[in-house]
Amino acid sequence: MVGADVRQVEAEIDSCIRKMPIWNVKRDVLLQHLMTIWRDGLEVVHLRYAHAAMFQLEEGLQNSLAIEYLISTGAYQSIKWAMEYARDDGLEEVSDNALIDLVMTVPAPYVLLVDALKLGSHDRAEFSVDHGSKILTIYEGGNVSGHDSAIVRRDHITVPFHKQSPLVEDSDQLTTRWTAGEYRRYWRWLRPIVERAQTETIMAQAGPLAPMQEIMKRSVVVEIPSPASPLERVQEDLTLTTAKACSSLKWKIDSWHDCPFIQIGDSRTL
C-alpha cells in the first residue's frame, strides 16, 4: 500500500507544480502555445523517423519513438495543468523556451509517479522515501515476464476489464449519450475537415540522385466546428475542458486518445 510518507511526497510535488511561475500566464495563451509546441514537436519527430526509415537506422527509429512519447505525454499533461492552474486574466506573453522545458522535463516523470502510485494501491509496488536527499525510490518487484499471460494478469489487477465483442453494431450503446454508429459517423464527418486543413506536403530524397518522395503532410492544429445533433454529444465527450481537468476525471483522462480535442476559449482544436 501507499503510506502516509509517500502521500506527503506526492502532495509536495503537486504543490511545487501548482506554484510554478508559468501558470501566471493567461490560460488561453498557454493552451495555444502548447498546441503549437505539440504540432511542431510531432513534425520534427516524424521527420526524424522518416530519415531513420529511409536510411534504415534502427537506433534512429527507437529514438524517434522515445521523443514522440515525451512530446505527446508532456504536451497533454501540461495542457491539463494549464487548464487547472492558469487563470483567465493572466499575462499575455510566455516564453516558448520555458514551455518546451516544461513539456520535455516535468510531465513524463510525473506520469510515471502516478502510474506507480496506482500500482502501489494494488500492492504491486513498494516505496522508499529519503527525506534528507529528497529521493523517492520505487520498487516494482522482480523482472516481469514478457509472456502474454503475465502481462494480462498484471493488467487485470490494475485495469478493469470488460467483455466486449469485437463485432460492434452501429446500434450498440457505447456510452449513455451515443452509440457506436454515431461515433463512426462523427469521424467520417470530421475526416474531410482535417484533410482540407493539411495543405502542405513534405518531400525528401535519400540522396542527390534519388527521386523525391512524399514523406508526410505537414502537421496542423485545426479548429473544429460544431456538428449537428446527435454528433455534437460525441464531440463534447471527446473534448478536454477546464471543468474536466479540474474534476476527478483528470485522473482518468491521461492521453490524447481519451480526449483528443482541446477547448480553448469558445473553440475546439485538434
Q: How far apart are CA 31 and CA 149, in angstroms?
A: 41
Pick 17 or 146 by higher pLDDT.
17
> Per-residue pLDDT averaged across 242-265, rounded?
93
Reported in sequence order, the residue ranges of the chain that DSSP labels E, i.e. its strands, are 126-130, 135-139, 201-204, 213-217, 223-224, 239-240, 261-264, 267-269
Arithmetic mean of pLDDT over the chain: 89
Q: How far apart are CA 141 and CA 120, in angstroms?
A: 11
What local confidence, expressed as pLDDT, does residue 246 receive?
A: 95
> Per-residue pLDDT averaged across 27-35, rounded?
96
**What phi, psi does 198 have (nearest 5°)?**
-90, 90
DSSP for 25-66, please give it. Answer: BBHHHHHHHHHHHHHHHHHHHHHHHHHHHHTT-HHHHHHHHH
Q: Say if strands 239-240 and 261-264 run parallel, antiparallel, or are unpaired.
A: parallel
What local confidence, expressed as pLDDT, does residue 175 receive?
A: 92
Span 160-196, pLDDT tens digits: 666 666 678 999 998 999 999 999 999 999 999 999 9
Span 74-117, pLDDT tens digits: 999 999 999 999 999 999 999 999 999 999 999 999 999 998 99
What local confidence, expressed as pLDDT, does residue 35 receive?
A: 96
Model confidence at 1, in pLDDT bands (50, 70, 90)? confident
Residue 150 has pLDDT above 80, yes or no: no
Residue 6 has pLDDT above 80, yes or no: yes
What local confidence, expressed as pLDDT, does residue 167 receive?
A: 79
Instruction: Determine the residue type at 91.
Output: L
Span 214-224, pLDDT tens digits: 888 888 999 99
Model confidence at 207, in pLDDT bands (50, 70, 90)? confident
Count the helix, strand and coil residues of the chain and give each as a percent rounded to the nearest 5.
55, 15, 35
79 touches 12 (CB < 8 A): no
Span 118-133, pLDDT tens digits: 889 888 889 999 989 9
Q: Which three cell numbers stand for residue 224?
A: 473544429
